[in-house]
Structure 1
Amino acid sequence: MAFKIKKIDHIQLAAPKGCEEAARNFFGEILGLMEVEKPDELKKRGGVWFEFGTFQLHIGVEVPFSPAKKAHPAFVVENIEELKRHLSRNEITFQEDDNLPGASRIHVNDPFGNRLEFLEWE
């Protein structure tokens, strides 16, 4: 092949119109992702972008909106036990899942009902 896929640039999750403040609170304040400015031409579409490491998470407005219940991004975390305590302190529920050998993982719904996975490899 004359081409190769090198890495993921960003993940996009859909959200309803008017989602920006809830997204900033959940992804920015609670999960600690850094908001990055959207290009001017894309700002009028709504939504908000975040960055972590060398990746970006884009929250994009979709009308009509329907949350992703099965499809999901999976985020590798350090100290998942502290993440669980942090989520609990912020009244965010999660489901523990021990079905992946060698990993401790949880599933969380974002404020819009999209499924997110967080895991730590042993």
Structure 2
Amino acid sequence: MARMLYVNLPTKDLAASDTFYSGLGFEKNKDFSNEVASSWKITETIWVMVLTETFYSSFLRNGDEPAYGAGPREVLNAISGETREEVDEFSKRALASGGTIYREAAEEFPGMYSVAFLDPDGHEWEVGWMDMSVTPGT
């Protein structure tokens, strides 16, 4: 069995998160979703688990608290796009679904085109595409 990745994110508004992740085109797994959590399939091996703040906090220890929005960022969630056009399409869907652009789409490094956006709770997502014929080291 392939190793799987589950990105767990706290939310202050589960319905807004559901609208956002559905709008990105991710598939909701109803078997693992309820009033305190939503499970979103990105690929067969990558999933996003959006948890209400109270439920998310139940997994934390040592006085740790959920983090949202601006300030120090512990993680940048990044996924690959298949084309430059798909990167742009993710950007449009993020905006239409309640997200905001964090970093405009650009080719900041040769052959690497990406955009970054925030979900309704301020968690950062990046979608990037690499032109392997231009990218150094390939």
Q: Normalization by structure 1: what TM-score? A: 0.71
Would you say 1:22 and 2:16 are equivalent positions? yes
- TM-aligned CA deviation for residue 43 of structure 1: 4.0
Structure 1: how far apart are the matches of 2:108 and 2:8?
Answer: 26
Q: Percent identity?
A: 15
Residue deviations 1:47-96 (CA, integer Å, cap 9, x gap): 21111221211111224642165212101123213333444556743222
Task: Identify unmatched segments of 5+ residues in structure 1.
Answer: 1-5
Alignment partner, residue 52 of structure 1: 42
- TM-aligned CA deviation for residue 104 of structure 1: 0.7
Alignment partner, residue 36 of structure 1: 29
Equivalent of 2:119 in 105, 110, 116 = 110
- TM-aligned CA deviation for residue 108 of structure 1: 0.5
Alignment partner, residue 8 of structure 1: 4
Task: Identify unmatched segments of 5+ residues in structure 2.
Answer: 55-64, 132-138
Distance 1:37 1:84, change over 3 A: closer
Distance 1:59 1:89, change over 3 A: closer
The count of corresponding residues between Structure 1 and Structure 2 is 111
Tell whether the 8 Å contact from 1:74 to 1:117 is kept in structure 2 after alignment: yes
Amino acid at match of 1:116: W
Tell whether the 8 Å contact from 1:110 to 1:116 is kept in structure 2 after alignment: yes
Which runs of at least 4 in structure 1 moved beyond 3 Å after TM superposition? 84-93, 97-101
Structure 2: how far apart are the matches of 1:62 and 1:72?
Answer: 19
